Structure 1
Amino acid sequence: MRLFAKRMRTRKPSHYRSGMTAATLEGIPAIILFQLLGGPFLTGYLLYLGASSFQIGIVLAIPSMANMLQIVGALLIQRYTNRKLLFSFLCGFHRVMWVAAGALPLLLPKEFGVIAYIAVSLFGFAGQAIGSVFWTSLIADMVPARVRGRYFGIRNTILWAGGCLAILVFGQILDRMPEPEGFYILYIVAAVCGVLDIVLFLKYPSPPFEKSEQTNMTAMLSVPFRHTKFLKSMLFISLWLFVQGISVPFYNYVMMDIMKISYNWISIATLTQNVAMVAGYFMWGNLNAKYATRRLLFWTLPVIALSCMGWGALPFMPDKAVLVVIHMLIGVGVGGFNQLMFNFVVGDTPKKERPMFIAVFYALTGLAGFLGPLSGGAVYKMAAGAPVWVALYGISLGVGVLMLVVAATIGSRVLLDKKLQVRRLGGTGWRRSG
């Protein structure tokens, strides 16, 4: 028995296990970086720089707009097949530029801060968008299909636990320190996480890449559009992200600029969301091992809609109690939606054509994700001249009702298979389809 145990301890980990461990370790500094630079503190930082709601909408829409460049990545990957090298360079470039986008305005006159942030971050997220095609294709090959749902559930749980801690700590720091000094510390820590993330990129394996069977660019681009189920799902998800983008990205804006809530309480609300998201990742990941991805994706939709509608309870219930419930719902809903959407793209697509499926999917949904916050920023700007309740809860309540209608009508038709049960010949059991 001891000899067997010794052999088990000294045996080298499998290629798959090493890759999954590397992806998990790399994700920890990455999620801290994303929480510090892209979470609620981004809205606070932009308000400190003097940004309007419309400018905040532009900044929030930049990552989605950049995703339209993923088609460029899908074409490049057919020529430059060293996915580890390319994603390390491009995503590393993003980390450097994103930190620089926030650090530069601290050194410039305040009137140029927002413009400088937008300009520099555009370059950074362009690199992230192209590099993510290489990363997604690589990690899809690194994680076996049979454990994919559960692995990403566990990985995301670990990562977001780190994100929760970062939110909690920096909520305290920013609440206790004058704004410029607090943001100095934030960007120093973000820079350290960015460097560590780039170093950990090099721990990824580099499995061989299988090129597309298509002979030219037009043929490669047309493949995703010939798969009816994929096309319908992609169009619906794009519509959903557009509607969602009008309200959800502006939760922090409403709390900070309209409700005047402190950084400390903002961090508590966001921590609540992240804890719910961690629980959601684990829950949806386990369910995904048993049930079809598209079906579970549908059931995240009403949760997100209810989060938006929850703002309508503000006139009747204590503010903080409402905000806690809203953030719990959005954590479970959006966490599950993002995880299942990713699993859908990497799991329900043919391996050799996967980069183009990924690129087309994120290009179209990225366009919708860009137009949503842009429209939301314009809506909140127009609401500035309306009664306070319109911006406080009216917009989110209306968007939530619309989302619920869209989910019940279009979403149920696209994501739920009509042929739910198929009787096996010669038996009494039932089998799920789809």
Structure 2
Amino acid sequence: MDRALRLSLLEGLFAILFINWSTGVLITGYALFLGADPKALALLGALPFLAQLAAPLALFLKGSRKALAVRLNLLARGGFALVILLPLLPQEFRVPGLLLLSAFSQLLSAPVGVLWLSWMADLVPEQKRGAYFGLRNALLGLVGTLGNLIGGYAVDRLAHLGYLLVLALGVLAGLCSVQILRVQPEPQPGPTAPPWPQLKTAASDPTYLRYLLLVFSWFLAVMLGGPYVIPYFLAWGGLSMTQVGLWTLVSASSGLLFGPLWGRIADRKGHAQVLRQTGLVAALMPFLWLLGSANFPWPIWASALLDALAWSGLNPALTNLALGRAPSASRNGYLALFWVALGLGGILGSLLAAWLAAFSQPTPYHLPLLASALLRLLVLLLIPPRREGI
């Protein structure tokens, strides 16, 4: 068991480099280099959420969770390597090509989220999930943002060649994580219901449906500003790509402290308690961004600490609340609806962000970030006042 958990940590360290470089800071910068406008940036930010609509397909795929995760990740990460060739295309095809390849990669990866979480739920004892996932997420955050710092430095020094080099290394790291998945043990799953009854059980659970409404609303609020955080830092905050990487490193280094702390709090007081506290921090964070500028960047740098304080506890709490509610026989159905709610919220938030950007001054990014902060505060009212459960 301990060996399996250590392997999962190692696999995650490689996987996070691919994930961060293919969906985060570097790919946003690459899109800007290729000529993306605010609408294209919003669509790029929406793609990870759009892909989650494919998560329920995990229930209908035949084979072991391990074998399916390996095959899907291999195709998704290998296919993404084609983004390196996009500068060779005519200008008008570069951004659409990036969006198409990103969508392909993320749609293939979406069912893996359900399969992997189900696998890990059997692997990690329930009483240790908060501490283990808190530590895992903190370590992955640190490694991922070290990657962002190195990637940003490469871009600042090598311009577009830096993007190509970092993206190629990201694909290689993603393929290494697949090889580790091949040797990670998979416990024998317990009896499960057929796919449609699993979904029906989850969809007829009124408490869980209220939780899905919270998940949907929260990610709608987050993605109202989410696609524009990095462009805002670059265009208004005066940060270079190296400095953006350093910002994420500060956040991840702090997350290495906060993640295990939130995990221990979750194991003692429940994930709902962590969700309320970290949600408030995440709701206040965009106000610091809006206070910052190229002449007054300190609020932006201070927000790196709040980013760590919020998301090192918020992400595990959201996932573990879904796991804790799901009966083992219908776990994948519950997880599939969780990813669908997350995806729909993110898609709608990104679309609204693109619409708001057209009315925003002094940059296309100010109004979406303000709207995101206000809506995050409103969504906190949906979190139930009880200390335990959802």
TM-score, normalised to structure 2, is 0.93
**Structure-1 separation of matches of 2:23 and 2:257:** 21
C-alpha contact (below 8 Å) 2:65/2:115 kept by paired residues? yes
Partner letter of residue 152 of structure 2?
Answer: G
Secondary structure of 2:342 counterpart: helix
- Which of 77, 80, 90 aligns to 1:98? It is 80
**Which residue does 1:156 correspond to in 2?**
137
Mapped pair 1:117 → 2:93: no
Matches within 5 A, 1:405-416: 405-407=378-380, 409-411=381-383, 414=384, 416=385
**Which residue does 2:344 correspond to in 1?**
367
- Which of 276, 296, 301 aligns to 2:279? It is 301
**Which residue does 2:323 correspond to in 1?**
346
Matches within 5 A, 1:6-405: 16-76=1-61, 80-100=62-82, 102-177=83-158, 179-213=159-193, 217=196, 219-314=197-292, 319-383=296-360, 387-388=361-362, 391=364, 393-405=366-378
**Structure-2 separation of matches of 1:90 and 1:117:** 20
The structure with more radius of gyration: 1
**Structure-1 separation of matches of 2:16 and 2:266:** 23
**Structure-2 separation of matches of 1:122 and 1:273:** 28
Shift of 1:433: 7.8
Shift of 1:262: 1.4
**Which residue does 1:6 correspond to in 2?**
none
**Structure-2 separation of matches of 1:404 and 1:136:** 29
**Structure-2 separation of matches of 1:240 and 1:186:** 32
**Structure-2 separation of matches of 1:355 and 1:382:** 41
Secondary structure of 1:273 counterpart: helix
**Structure-2 separation of matches of 1:187 and 1:396:** 28
C-alpha contact (below 8 Å) 1:153/1:285 kept by paired residues? yes
Shift of 1:143: 0.7
Partner letter of residue 405 of structure 1?
Answer: L
C-alpha contact (below 8 Å) 1:19/1:204 kept by paired residues? yes
**Structure-1 separation of matches of 2:96 and 2:167:** 18
Partner letter of residue 43 of structure 1?
Answer: T
Shift of 1:42: 1.4
Shift of 1:289: 1.5
**Structure-2 separation of matches of 1:252 and 1:71:** 31
Shift of 1:62: 0.8
**Deviant stretches of 4+, over 4 Å:** none
Shift of 1:68: 0.9
Secondary structure of 2:145 counterpart: helix
The C-alpha deviation readout for 1:171-222, integer Å capped at 9, x for no partner, is 2221112x221112112211221221121111211222234245x72x3321
**Structure-2 separation of matches of 1:395 and 1:23:** 37
Shift of 1:378: 2.5
**Structure-2 separation of matches of 1:35 and 1:361:** 22
- Return 393-402 or 359-368, whichever deviates more: 393-402
Q: Structure 2, unaligned stretches of length 5 or more? A: none
TM-score, normalised to structure 1, is 0.84
Summarize the Cα distance change of 1:349–1:265 in structure 2 as closer, same or farther, 3 Å threshold.
same
Identity %, equivalent residues: 24
Partner letter of residue 266 of structure 1?
Answer: V
C-alpha contact (below 8 Å) 2:142/2:249 kept by paired residues? no
The C-alpha deviation readout for 1:11-31, integer Å capped at 9, x for no partner, is xxxxx2122111111011111
C-alpha contact (below 8 Å) 1:133/1:359 kept by paired residues? yes
Aligned length: 390
Shift of 1:310: 1.7
C-alpha contact (below 8 Å) 1:309/1:399 kept by paired residues? no
C-alpha contact (below 8 Å) 2:17/2:174 kept by paired residues? no
RMSD (Å), alpha carbons: 2.1
Q: Structure 1, unaligned stretches of length 5 or more? A: 1-15, 421-431
